[in-house]
Structure 1
Amino acid sequence: MKVLVVRPMEMPEVQEIDHTLSAMQELVGGTIQAVYPFDDPVALVCNDEGKLLGLPWNRTLTDDHGVPYDIVCGTFFVAGLKEDDFASLTEQQIEKYQDKYSHEMILSVPKQPEAHKKPMKKEKHEHER
């Protein structure tokens, strides 16, 4: 099955994958979730627990006006749809989504050290000793 793979901070690439659940799970690094944010007969398939696992931010999902409403975390792929199953993308779909995801990347900001959460030592004043 020909899909478009989108990894965080990388250009999207066309890849041929086996049409099996295990191949799809391996590609996204866990259980899969399909979302359908586009009018085209395509699915965006991502790691179902990407946010919970703290996977890196990848790309945004936007409404019809281009306003972001969600972020996909971790590697995902775009696949075509047929009746009740995933299918290879058409050449037109590949071109459309490759163009879309080539021009958008999200920078993940590393977590700051949690020094501010450490309890501070309380100094004893002269009258407390």
Structure 2
Amino acid sequence: MKILRVEPEKSPEIVDMEGTLEALQAAVGGYIEAVYPWDDPVAIVCNDDGKFNGMQPNRALYNEDGEIMDIIAGTFLIVGLTDDNFAELSDELAEKYAALFGTPEAFLRSGDRILVFPMGPDPDTCPF
């Protein structure tokens, strides 16, 4: 199935992978957790223990006011949804979420706040 893979410090990548539990777990490096922060028929599939087992912070999730709601640690996937299962992403949704997560982010703790900084181009895809 076609999904969007988002790795720390890299641009999102549309990939084709099996939709099995084992394939999803391998892609995120452990037990999976599904998160449903949007009205679109998509889910974030991430490592259930990513924050607790030292995975690198990857991307922030923001509310409608631009405030950080959560930070996803480690590689995560954006998958489509059916009534009862994960599914392939449509081209439209793949493009939408590739744009949303297109800029890698860096994180810095300052007191009781976490600051988020956009990173430069992915060195693997930068033409210069």
Query: Is TM more than 0.5 here?
Result: yes
**Runs (5+) with no aligned partner, structure 2:** 109-128
By how many angstroms is 1:41 displaced?
0.6
In the superposition, the TM-score normalised over structure 2's length comes to 0.81
**Runs (5+) with no aligned partner, structure 1:** 110-129
* d(CA) in 1 for partners of 2:27, 2:107: 20
Cα deviation per residue 1:22-81 (whole Å; 9 max; x = unaligned)? 000000000000000111010000000000001000001111222111100000000000
Determine the structure 1 residue equivalent to 2:121.
none
Determine the structure 2 residue equivalent to 1:11.
11
Determine the structure 2 residue equivalent to 1:106.
105
* d(CA) in 1 for partners of 2:105, 2:63: 17
Determine the structure 2 residue equivalent to 1:74.
74
Determine the structure 1 residue equivalent to 2:30.
30
Which has the larger helix fraction? 1
* d(CA) in 2 for partners of 1:83, 1:100: 24
Runs of 4+ in 1 over 3 A off after TM superposition: none
* d(CA) in 2 for partners of 1:107, 1:64: 21
Partner SS, residue 24 of structure 2: helix
* d(CA) in 2 for partners of 1:65, 1:97: 18
Q: Percent identity between the aligned chains? A: 45
In the superposition, the TM-score normalised over structure 1's length comes to 0.81
* d(CA) in 2 for partners of 1:57, 1:106: 8
Q: How many residues align?
A: 108
- The answer to whether the Cα contact below 8 Å between 1:57 and 1:73 also exists between their aligned partners in 2 is yes
Partner SS, residue 38 of structure 2: coil
Q: Which amino acid in structure 2 is aligned with residue 77 of structure 1?
A: L
By how many angstroms is 1:106 displaced?
2.2
Larger radius of gyration: 1
Determine the structure 2 residue equivalent to 1:62.
62
Determine the structure 1 residue equivalent to 2:118.
none
By how many angstroms is 1:108 displaced?
4.7
- The answer to whether the Cα contact below 8 Å between 1:44 and 1:76 also exists between their aligned partners in 2 is yes
